[in-house]
Amino acid sequence: MKKILSVLILVFIATVSCTTKYKDVQSFETVWQKASAEDVGLNPALMDRLIQDAHEGRFPNLHALIVVKDSRIVVEEYFGEFDAKTSHYTASVTKSVGSMLVGIAMDQGLLPGLDDGVLDMRLSDLFPEYQEILSADPRKADIRFRHILSMSAGFEWDEYTYPYDDQRNDWVRVRNASEPASLVLEQRVAHNPGKVFNYSGGLSMLLAYLIERETDMGAAAFAKRYLFEPLGISDYEWKNLTGGLIDFPGGLSLRPRDMVKLGQLYLNGGRWKGESIVPKDWVTESTREHIISINSPNYGFQWWCGKFYYHDRSVYLYMASGHGGQKIFVIPDFSLVVILAHKVFDNPAGEMHNTAIMSRYILPATDPFNPREVPVEVGIETLSHFVGAYASSNGHFKINIHNGRLKVTAQNTESMYLVPLSRARFRGTVKDMIDVEFVFDITDDGKVQGGWISYAFAKDSFVRVLKDSK
């Protein structure tokens, strides 16, 4: 229950020292055709409500919102001092861009391809110059390239306990190191490779190191030539780490429209205007689930991914995600790309707002003929069958009747009331933002035995553990 009611994904990226900047505002291009919601089969009332709610301040700190369906812009709105020409810091969205460059490097022959076994390459093959460090711990022989990409290498690593101005934060130490690759590779092995997800900007930095080492033009110039120029992206900033290496973990600033291009590129299977930019097999491989991430969406190769639950439905999507609510959502089943840019720092509600926007407006709008369900009437006698204590893999919660409604209470979480949508299905709402779906298993004689809770990327079963009369 605690997982269901908590905010997903807190990804922090600190400030770095140098910047590679490309700016050509005069070449700003309008390459996107616009379409109404009706033109592309989206519910116009939900799209209109989203725009109205956003401009009325329902989502504080929102800077940009773009919805693209079938390669056409349906919604493009900016807030505050931001507009279409304003570059926005994307934080850890940068990691997914780094993943694109890894795929391009394979295509360019700088790295072996998927068919050549690149994912199973050992650290000693990838970093022979650090053989002395790697050989000091025999457990590192089991770490493969796929584990670096999926943040499951097993290294001891902590980016969360200490703030990003504290040298005890592992990313701060790497960010300020003259030889960051050495510092990452010498970390102690705490888990068997491929078993535990542990968010690590250090592993993302190793990807930049590989590309920097293998190309004679440097990683920044490589990105410019093989990714940004083909996409017509000319106005961006990419910061460097203290040692001069390009900041793959979180140094990129882009215009929101250019963020759309990156999402659309992947939706198109790596093609742009008929040209292959990123190999299709890498697009597929990098955006599928490779490791389970507790309290978050699951993880691919520098992309977050998984089933997103909304109302009584679900859809597979993947996303580039940065601290504060920076997002590139790609939803292949609906041919949708959604861009959300927020205030980056000191904005803990950014993730919650993103979840609300996706689950209450955009994804339900994909079915224009299925509006938000109307609550049904359920009598007190029927509601009393649900009263009791329940247990899930994430903790215990109780259901009682208060003021004629079911009320859910769990330790260290906000209580919520449940609205009946049918005899067995109820919806709760956290902070009037996040919908939580409860589906109960009910026997023929009306006894409630357990059920399922779903919310955003989380779905969890629960069972009744004891009878509670109040």
What ranges do the domains of the chain cover? 7-372, 380-467
The per-residue pLDDT for 16 is 34
Phi and psi (nearest 5°) for 360?
Answer: -105, -20
Q: What is the CATH number assigned to the segment(s) 7-372? A: 3.40.710.10
Residue 408, strand partner residues: 399, 416
Which residues make Cβ contacts (< 8 Å) with residue 264, sequence separation at least 6? 68, 71, 272, 337
Residue 211: in which H helix or E strand, if any? helix 201-214
The per-residue pLDDT for 18 is 42
* pTM of the model as a whole: 0.91
The per-residue pLDDT for 369 is 64
- pLDDT tens by residue, 425-460: 999 998 889 999 999 999 988 899 999 999 999 999
Sequence length of the chain is 470
- pLDDT tens by residue, 84-129: 999 999 999 999 999 999 999 999 999 999 999 999 999 999 999 9
Is 188 buried (19+), middle (13-18) or exposed (0-12) by CB count in 10 A?
exposed
Confidence check: pLDDT of 217 > 60: yes
- pLDDT tens by residue, 337-378: 999 999 998 888 999 999 999 999 999 999 876 666 788 999
The per-residue pLDDT for 294 is 79
The per-residue pLDDT for 31 is 61
The per-residue pLDDT for 8 is 31
The per-residue pLDDT for 160 is 82
The per-residue pLDDT for 242 is 85
Place of tokens 């909304």: 310
Confidence check: pLDDT of 190 > 80: yes
Place of tokens 């890894």: 102
The per-residue pLDDT for 372 is 62
Fold of the CATH domain 380-467: Lipocalin (2.40.128)
Gap between the Cα atoms of 326 and 339, Å rounded? 8
Q: Which amino acid is at 45?
A: A
The fraction of the chain above a pLDDT of 70, given in percent, is 91
Does residue 71 contact residue 33 with C-beta atoms inside 8 Å?
yes
DSSP state letters, 222-291: HHIIIIIHHHT---EEEEE-TTS-B-TTT-EEE-HHHHHHHHHHHHTTSEETTEESS-HHHHHHHTS--B
Specify the pairing of strand 304-310 against strand 275-276: unpaired
Confidence check: pLDDT of 269 > 90: yes
Confidence check: pLDDT of 138 > 70: yes
Give the mean pLDDT of the chain.
90
- pLDDT tens by residue, 18-59: 444 433 333 334 467 899 999 999 999 999 999 999 999 999
Confidence check: pLDDT of 421 > 70: yes
Confidence check: pLDDT of 285 > 60: yes
The per-residue pLDDT for 467 is 55
Specify the pairing of strand 72-78 against strand 33-34: parallel
Gap between the Cα atoms of 130 and 262, Å rounded? 34
Confidence at 3, pLDDT banded by 50, 70, 90: very low
Specify the pairing of strand 72-78 against strand 313-322: unpaired
- Average pLDDT rounded to a whole number, residues 290-318: 93
